[in-house]
């Protein structure tokens, strides 16, 4: 039981890392909280459900199809809304509320177009049946999700630490005033970051029906909170930190579900609060954010 | 605002021209308009908006989970009646005490900055909801099955009680608007370090505003439980209430007495006229309103006047 | 100007680190009641950090600060204000969305501790802001904002006032007036520490100076002696100028 929980925790943890890392990018680069992030994940999930139901499209293919549109949506949102917001005095708080508004719009629109009932995808779409991992058996879908998540996290790491654009992004994360003064086109970096963030959300969304069982428009908020918990536990700005945060989160969740299942849903919230009070800078960082 | 006399004058003016008329209106309306539940909801939202105003308008701290205090008050009332056999009036006071206790427990969160605090507070409210509605705790809180109070139903008395809490909330905001304490909160909001150099104990004044805000929400939560007698955990811990209240207050204009009231009257009326049919349409409008507000009028309708130099109550 | 036996402020071997950087490296000095002490030094010597630790914006890593017999090393800033220490900021920090009057009212209401609140109108007249009493701080020009910052500090009836680089941004005739104003404060019971770059201003205002370099004091005495001291000349002007 314990081994099962631990491994399942790692699998789910990697998946939550994927959800969190997009939020991490936005928060790190623009100091804005995208409370609608979970809703973008759900939208990805709905596309996967709809395309599968309509034409039997493999969810992985849907993930690929979503990459470019999600990126474009991110860039459009940046230039359309976020750029103006960043100029105001209290951008952080206003963005919180503004993205909550966006979240409401998306939730309502999804409900109108797709109905509010639960949607899911049968597991044979990705590959039915269990797979053996270290002597325990898990649904194949979980393992695929975790695998793709790990690849995505590494890809983000490579982007941030090995590409020119990524290095500029990290400069903006550290100090955007100075970045502007060294001639970096901060707007472009931010728009690209938002685009990448939504791309990651879309990919995460495709796996959501498998990892969560089923999805509804209202599930977005809980995912946003979970994503926030992941990046707070790990560290702001560091994708490997997010992975650490995700795994810790996933394992804690699994252990709770195994041993104290009726209280498992309280864990994410309590964990978030506890980490923010005890070690707000996360496990890996040097910077503290307190009032 | 040079002398105490001026601020007392201003508070008296607020009392005569804003608070008393509103209270009178809310007390008279039930005799001409039959939907008392709707009127009660108006009173409830106006109180919550003013309660939020106390903390957000004056300190800039945004409690996304403000509804947690409301729910704590509602359950405080319910549990006092069910398990301690208190009379409704005593249970009403107990509701206030419960929400203040919750507020005290959450005080450590106040040292977190902006977004971190907002999300932590939202998580706290969710956690409270999950704990209260957990089936394991059903013997105490009735878990997910909901509360059904016997023998306390008295719509007129509880309505009057609600209006008195509304009056209290308006007095609180008027006081903050016209006192040195209120100024110190605004100073802390602007520049906590500079405020500390001026002698203000930042932690202390924030905590005081926080607890007042929690208390008001708890009191009106208790009255809600009293008025309605039957409710489920997700109606009193609904994050949608938090967000509605935040939007009402922001739309009207925080840090003023009239702003939140205006926001509730305009937007909640709009909701009741348009929104009940297909909730998604209203949700979309709401979302768009929030986005537009944040981009173009972040200080609310009142800022249209205050930016021209008029002083708004 | 009265001098009492025990020093009003005693700074003893204070050390302040920021990560790996040692901003204050064992600074020690004493301040007598009623005097005006200057604190000078090149950029990065620790002058403002010194002010910041005395006014409790930062804590200290080791050493001690004693004010009127009480240890104040790591207390919260609002307590230190109420004990009677206040300061002006290098970049002024009045409350931008509040009026001039409201700015000083808050300070008087919260920062005086056991002392009586001073006459706010007199303070505003002293800094020549009484004409703009009801203007929002954001609308003032930078010189007025500096004066408001000073007024806010004076509004808490401090017995020790730390002035951080006040002179920048004023023309010579304004500086003469400000120097006079600062020199008039000890007669009203306020002892001063003046941190300054502009050596001419320091000379007019202070009784004696301490020269800091790299977090240590390298000279203490009269300004006129300081400018002849080889160590001082070296840190300000470079080795080639020292004899």
Nearest to B69 by CA among B89, B84, B52: B52
User: Does the CB of C61 have a partner CB in chain B at under 8 Å?
Assistant: no
Can you give the pLDDT at residue B262?
A: 93
Residue of A nearest to B130 (CA): A266
* Residue of C104, C106, C155 to mutate, testing the B interface (most B Cβ within 10 Å of its Cβ): C106
Cβ-based neighbour number of residue C225 at 10 Å: 13
> Rounded to 5 degrees, what are φ and ψ at B197?
-65, -30
Structure tokens at B72: 């704590």
Residue ranges of domains in chain A: 2-107+120-278
Distance (Å, whole) CA A24 – CA A34:
10
Q: In chain C, which residues have pLDDT < 50?
A: 1-3, 243
B312 alpha-carbon distance from chain centroid: 20
Can you give the pLDDT at residue B299?
A: 83
Residue ranges of domains in chain C: 1-84+159-243, 94-158
Statement: residue A210 has pLDDT above 80? yes
**10-residue stretch averages of pLDDT, chain B, 313 residues long:** 66 86 88 86 96 93 94 95 92 96 94 85 92 89 88 89 95 92 92 93 95 97 94 90 89 90 92 73 82 85 82 79
pLDDT classification of A288: cutoffs 50, 70, 90: very low
Residue ranges of domains in chain B: 4-238
Contact C94 B194 (CB under 8 A): yes
Can you give the pLDDT at residue C1?
A: 44
Nearest to B207 by CA among B241, B238, B184: B184
Can you give the pLDDT at residue A291?
A: 37
Can you give the pLDDT at residue B151?
A: 83
Can you give the pLDDT at residue A176?
A: 67
* B residues 222..241 contacting A (CB < 8 A): 239
How close B243 comes to chain A (CA, Å)? 9
Contact C82 B199 (CB under 8 A): yes
CATH number of C1-84+159-243: 3.40.50.300
Contact A269 B123 (CB under 8 A): yes
| Contact by Cβ (8 Å): C11, C27 | yes
Residue of B nearest to A112 (CA): B280
Q: What confidence tens digit (pLDDT) does each residue in C3-53 have?
A: 456 889 999 999 999 888 899 999 999 999 999 999 998 888 889 999 999
Contact C107 B199 (CB under 8 A): yes
* A2-107+120-278 CATH fold: ABC transporter involved in vitamin B12 uptake, BtuC (1.10.3470)
* Residue of A78, A92, A101, A110 to mutate, testing the B interface (most B Cβ within 10 Å of its Cβ): A101
Neighbours of chain A (3+ CB pairs under 8 A): B
Q: Return the bridge partners of A119, or none.
A: A215
Residue of C nearest to B192 (CA): C95
Distance (Å, whole) CA B25 – CA A89:
38
Can you give the pLDDT at residue C5?
A: 66
């Amino acid at each position: 039981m314990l081994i099962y929980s631990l491994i399942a925790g790692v699998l789910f943890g990697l998946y939550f890392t994927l959800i969190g890392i997009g939020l991490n990018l936005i928060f790190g680069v623009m100091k804005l909280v995208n409370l609608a992030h979970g809703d973008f994940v759900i939208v990805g999930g709905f596309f996967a459900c709809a395309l599968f139901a309509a034409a039997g499209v493999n969810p992985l293919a849907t993930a690929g199809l979503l990459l470019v549109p999600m990126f474009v949506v991110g860039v459009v949102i940046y230039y359309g809304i976020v750029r103006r917001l960043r100029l105001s005095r209290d951008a952080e708080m206003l963005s919180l509320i503004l993205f909550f508004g966006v979240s409401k719009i998306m939730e309502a629109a999804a409900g109108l177009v797709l109905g509010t009932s639960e949607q899911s995808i049968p597991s044979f779409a990705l590959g039915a049946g269990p797979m053996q991992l270290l002597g325990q058996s898990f649904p194949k879908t979980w393992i695929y999700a975790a695998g793709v998540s790990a690849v995505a996290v590494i890809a983000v790491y490579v982007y941030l630490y090995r590409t020119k654009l990524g290095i500029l992004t990290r400069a903006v994360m550290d100090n955007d005033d100075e970045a502007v003064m060294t001639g970096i086109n901060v707007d472009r970096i931010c728009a690209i970051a938002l685009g990448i963030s939504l791309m990651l959300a879309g990919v995460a969304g495709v796996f959501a029906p498998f990892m969560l069982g089923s999805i509804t428009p209202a599930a977005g908020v809980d995912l946003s909170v979970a994503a926030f918990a992941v990046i707070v536990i790990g560290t702001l700005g560091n994708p490997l930190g997010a992975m650490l945060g995700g795994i810790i989160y996933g394992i804690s969740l699994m252990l709770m579900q195994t041993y104290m299942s009726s209280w498992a849903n309280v864990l994410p919230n309590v964990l978030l609060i506890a980490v923010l009070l005890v070690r707000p800078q996360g496990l890996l960082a040097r910077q503290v954010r307190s009032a | 605002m040079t002398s105490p006399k001026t601020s007392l004058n201003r508070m008296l003016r607020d009392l005569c021209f804003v608070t008393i008329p509103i209270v009178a209106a809310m007390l008279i309306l039930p005799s001409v308009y039959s939907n008392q539940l709707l009127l009660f909801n108006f009173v409830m939202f106006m109180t919550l908006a003013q309660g939020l105003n106390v903390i957000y308008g004056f300190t800039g701290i945004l409690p996304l989970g403000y509804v947690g205090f409301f729910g704590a008050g509602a359950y405080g009332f319910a549990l006092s009646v069910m398990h301690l056999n208190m009379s409704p009036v005593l249970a009403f006071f107990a509701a206030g005490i419960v929400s203040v206790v919750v507020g005290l427990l959450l005080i450590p969160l106040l040292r977190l900055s902006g977004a971190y605090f907002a999300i932590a507070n939202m998580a706290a409210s969710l956690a409270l909801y999950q704990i209260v509605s957990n089936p394991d705790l059903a013997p105490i809180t009735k878990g997910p099955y909901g509360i059904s109070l016997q023998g306390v139903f008295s719509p007129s008395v509880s309505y009057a009680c609600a209006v008195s809490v509304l009056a209290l909330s308006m007095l609180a905001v008027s006081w903050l608007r016209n006192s040195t304490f209120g100024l110190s909160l605004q100073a802390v909001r602007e520049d906590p370090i500079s405020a500390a150099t001026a002698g203000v104990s930042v932690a202390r004044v924030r905590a005081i505003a926080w607890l007042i805000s929690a208390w008001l929400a708890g009191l009106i939560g208790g009255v809600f439980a009293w008025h309605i007698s039957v409710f489920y955990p997700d109606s009193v811990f609904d994050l949608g209430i938090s967000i509605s209240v935040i939007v009402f207050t922001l739309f009207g204009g925080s840090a003023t007495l009239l702003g939140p009231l205006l926001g509730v009257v305009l937007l909640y009326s709009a909701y009741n006229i348009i929104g009940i049919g297909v909730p998604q349409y209203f949700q979309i409008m709401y979302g768009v309103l929030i986005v537009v507000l944040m981009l173009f009028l972040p200080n609310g309708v009142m800022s249209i006047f205050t930016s021209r130099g008029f002083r708004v109550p | 100007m009265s001098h009492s036996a025990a020093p009003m402020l005693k700074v003893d071997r204070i050390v302040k680190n920021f990560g790996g950087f040692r901003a204050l490296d064992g600074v020690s000095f004493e301040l007598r009641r009623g005097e005006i002490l200057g604190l000078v030094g090149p950029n990065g010597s620790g002058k403002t950090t010194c002010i910041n630790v005395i006014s409790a914006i930062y804590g200290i890593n080791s050493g001690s600060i004693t004010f009127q017999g009480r240890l104040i090393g790591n207390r919260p800033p609002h307590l230190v204000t109420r004990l009677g220490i206040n300061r002006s900021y290098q970049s002024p920090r009045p409350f931008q969305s509040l009026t001039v009057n409201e700015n000083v009212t808050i300070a008087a209401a919260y920062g005086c501790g056991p002392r009586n609140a001073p006459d706010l109108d007199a303070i505003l007249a002293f800094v020549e802001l009484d004409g703009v009493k009801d203007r929002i701080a954001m609308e003032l020009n930078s010189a007025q904002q500096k004066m408001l910052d000073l007024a806010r500090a004076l509004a808490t009836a401090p017995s020790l006032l730390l002035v951080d680089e006040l002179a920048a941004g004023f023309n010579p005739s304004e500086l003469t007036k400000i120097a006079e104003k600062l020199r008039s404060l000890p007669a009203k019971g306020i002892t001063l520490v003046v941190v300054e770059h502009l050596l001419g201003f320091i000379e007019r205002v202070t009784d004696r100076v301490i020269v800091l370099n790299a977090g240590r004091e390298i000279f203490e005495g009269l300004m006129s002696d300081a400018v002849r001291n080889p160590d001082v000349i070296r840190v300000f002007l470079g080795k080639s100028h020292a004899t």
